[in-house]
Amino acid sequence: MSVAHAGEFGLIARVTARLPEAPNTLLGPGDDAAVVTASDGRVVASTDVLVEGRHFRRDWCSAEDVGHRAAAANLADIVAMGARPTALLVALCSPPDLAATWAEELADGLAAEAVLVGAGVVGGDMSASPTLTIAVTALGDLEGRAPVLRTGARPGDIVAVAGRIGYAAAGYTVLSRGFRTPKLLVDAYRRPQVAYLAGPRAAVAGATSMIDVSDGLLADLGHIARASSVGINVRRDAFVVPAQMRDAASALGVDPMTWMLGGGDDHAFAATFPPHVTLPEGWQAVGAVTEGADVTVDGRPYRDGPAGWDHFRAAGPQS
Amino acid sequence: MSVAHAGEFGLIARVTARLPEAPNTLLGPGDDAAVVTASDGRVVASTDVLVEGRHFRRDWCSAEDVGHRAAAANLADIVAMGARPTALLVALCSPPDLAATWAEELADGLAAEAVLVGAGVVGGDMSASPTLTIAVTALGDLEGRAPVLRTGARPGDIVAVAGRIGYAAAGYTVLSRGFRTPKLLVDAYRRPQVAYLAGPRAAVAGATSMIDVSDGLLADLGHIARASSVGINVRRDAFVVPAQMRDAASALGVDPMTWMLGGGDDHAFAATFPPHVTLPEGWQAVGAVTEGADVTVDGRPYRDGPAGWDHFRAAGPQS
């Protein structure tokens, strides 16, 4: 059965029936709007959109995979503020001949990823469109903490990362060359494993700035550097290339550092911490904040590969 | 200059520079997420998506018009809960050759509509796409009140509407027949004039249920009837057809009641109130809640025109 055959209201009923309840949801789908807790009188909110052919391919990813990825991209933005995600809202634009099961499995993936952080899928919208498009908004709770912005990095701060880095970009390259293994890398592209606890931990530890690595580590550190009016130097020897990534890179003739420094889809986190802070669990130092205005690798500009993508200019694996 | 030439980050900078500050915005665009006040520890949230060719046409509406309409559709959902809108987030998917000025003027329209209710445009996302698509999420504040749901209508309640009704549907018919006047109706389709104060007023007055009329009055009253397990009867003589609508209907050979009972894009509000309540300013009684399960007009099923649209099944003027 297609989404057109199920009908808008039929499809909404089929999808919402599959969504689990979540603790912060005061009113879920089915009315004009949802109501979600915002315990400290503030709500954190972010929107990310995924377009077929640009952010995902149906022959590479199942509907559940796309749901996981769409949720992860948005939940990571909330976590990068030092907040705990509470809710997702989802707008699905789909060709009328899309299988209704695809929409249902997308909802399953969204809900399953949201459950990892205790968030619910609380609302959404559906429309026909020639282009399969998924727009997700995530909400979050700062639990009384100040948000960790991009503007607070100071010279002398430690630069650290949390979570997998380069895996998804490697998986994207593997898929784009027509391969389906190594499974570790391909699966990392299909369903990122996001270190959701890293953001609130960094906030509690006193992180001076933080960002979700979605454009690529160097590009995103560039966002922090510009916002904070500082330079950032990354040490190449801080990155250990995992064995499977090294082997895949060798087989494909790629420098694996281009995946680790330029890839985004893992939704790792990058942050800066005051010197002498003990980094919280899951965080690893990779460099330092400097005077100046540039992002460098071992003190030099990085010219070995792309540092990130522009969504209007280049096709890429970004979400 | 096209959006592709401006580039993602250039375009975001151009658009965000045009957005006015808003009182509830604690952190606006430019970081991983925005932070907005939620004064009573809860946030109301709703998402609506507009797809070119389905919800708007660029030859009928300016970019600013589309911005006004996209904002209004979402703000009305918040108001229909009895809440005050605080913020909008916007995801724009656009063909790479779209003029950057179109995106800027879209932002102007979104911001200008949001300002009417004191809300800010606090964040967003941009992506290339073959299909011009605008997904908006609105947030709101219940100010300590209970949300007004669709489930609370009781037999004997008064059914009332607030705001213009049928104007936008008439304007859509006028445009679809190739005309550009009467201006009153065409402008009503291009930029709805939403009675934003009506929702909180209804909540304060004790409304037992409320809905944003987006699918058409009878269809949306049907949503209340089903959710509340009641019937609803509407009196045809409660609707006065304005002179310009009557003249346009006569010229086009249309029964104007099909616009008033079946059209949606005005974003009027329908609500039920306990009997003997004095209706708040801007609300007008149009019928009564009954035992039963059907929506009727003067006690009979309505068969003179479509009662609303399904977004997967029929092209229509709905947003």
DSSP string, A179-194: ----HHHHHHHHS---
Angstroms from A50 CA to nearest CA on chain B: 8
pLDDT (0 to 100) of residue A305:
61
A239-273 residue pLDDT tens = 999 999 999 999 999 999 999 999 989 999 999 99
pLDDT (0 to 100) of residue A26:
97
Which residues of chain A make contact with B199, given a CB cutoff of 8 A? none
CA A35 to chain centre: 25
Burial A90-107 (b: 16+ CB within 10 A, else e): bbbbbeeebebebbbbbb
Residue B31 marked as a ligand binder: no
Does the pLDDT at position A313 exceed 60?
A: no
Structure tokens at B220: 């949306």
A195-219 residue pLDDT tens = 999 999 999 999 999 999 998 999 9
Residue B123 marked as a ligand binder: no
Does the pLDDT at position A314 exceed 90?
A: no
pLDDT (0 to 100) of residue A307:
54
Contact between B81 and A36 using a beta-carbon 8 Å cutoff:
no
Residue A298 marked as a ligand binder: no
Which residues of chain A make contact with B43, given a CB cutoff of 8 A? 35-38, 43, 139
Angstroms from A32 CA to nearest CA on chain B: 5
CATH fit for domain A3-141, picks 2.30.110.10, 3.30.540.10, 3.40.50.10330, 3.30.1330.10:
3.30.1330.10
Taking Cα atoms as reference points, which of A119, A197, A209, A138 lies closest to residue A163? A197
Contact between B34 and A44 using a beta-carbon 8 Å cutoff:
yes
Of B307 and A141, more confident: A141
Contact between A312 and B126 using a beta-carbon 8 Å cutoff:
yes
CATH fit for domain A158-297, picks 3.30.379.10, 3.40.630.30, 3.40.50.2000, 3.90.650.10:
3.90.650.10
Angstroms from B183 CA to nearest CA on chain A: 29
Contact between A33 and B42 using a beta-carbon 8 Å cutoff:
no
pLDDT (0 to 100) of residue A296:
96
- Which DSSP category does B252 fall into? H
From B11, B43, B137, residue closest to A38, measured CB to CB: B43
Q: Measured between alpha carbons, how far is B319 from B316 in angstroms, rounded to an integer? A: 9
- Which DSSP category does A17 fall into? T
pLDDT (0 to 100) of residue B17:
85
A13-48 residue pLDDT tens = 888 888 888 999 999 999 999 999 999 999 999 999
From A30, A46, A90, residue closest to B32, measured CB to CB: A46
**Which residue is closest to B125 within chain A, CA to CA?**
A48
Q: Measured between alpha carbons, how far is A99 from A60 in angstroms, rounded to an integer? A: 17
Structure tokens at A140: 């979050």
CB atoms within 10 A of CB A129: 26
**% of chain A surpassing 90 pLDDT:** 87
pLDDT (0 to 100) of residue B303:
76
Mean pLDDT of chain A: 93
Contact between A133 and B131 using a beta-carbon 8 Å cutoff:
yes
Which residues of chain B make contact with A54, given a CB cutoff of 8 A? 127-129
Contact between A44 and B38 using a beta-carbon 8 Å cutoff:
no
pLDDT-derived band at A317, boundaries 50, 70, 90: very low
Angstroms from A91 CA to nearest CA on chain B: 6
| pLDDT beneath 70: ranges in chain B | 304-319
DSSP string, B42-102: EEEEEEEEEEBTTTB-TTTS-HHHHHHHHHHHHHHHHHTTTPEEEEEEEEEEE-TTSBHHH
From A31, A34, A40, residue closest to B150, measured CB to CB: A31
Domains B3-141 and B158-297 share a fold: no
Residue A311 marked as a ligand binder: no
Contact between B212 and A32 using a beta-carbon 8 Å cutoff:
yes
Taken in order A50, A53, A55, A61, the sign of the CA dihedral is: positive
From A35, A51, A311, residue closest to B147, measured CB to CB: A35
pLDDT (0 to 100) of residue A319:
41
| N residues, chain B | 319
From B43, B55, B149, residue closest to A36, measured CB to CB: B43
Angstroms from B2 CA to nearest CA on chain A: 10
Contact between A91 and B131 using a beta-carbon 8 Å cutoff:
no
Taking Cα atoms as reference points, which of A204, A125, A284, A187 lies closest to residue B311? A125
pLDDT (0 to 100) of residue B308:
53
Structure tokens at B49: 């998506």
- Which DSSP category does B165 fall into? -
Contact between B33 and A77 using a beta-carbon 8 Å cutoff:
yes
Which residues of chain B make contact with A7, given a CB cutoff of 8 A? 310, 312-313
Contact between B30 and A212 using a beta-carbon 8 Å cutoff:
no
Q: Measured between alpha carbons, how far is B19 from B68 in angstroms, rounded to an integer? A: 14
Contact between B47 and A139 using a beta-carbon 8 Å cutoff:
no
Q: Give the residue extent of every domain in chain A.
A: 3-141, 158-297
pLDDT (0 to 100) of residue A72:
97
Burial A183-208 (b: 16+ CB within 10 A, else e): eebbbbbbbbbbbbbbbbbbbebebb
Q: A283-290 and B25-27: which strand pairing?
A: unpaired
**Which residue is closest to B137 within chain A, CA to CA?**
A137
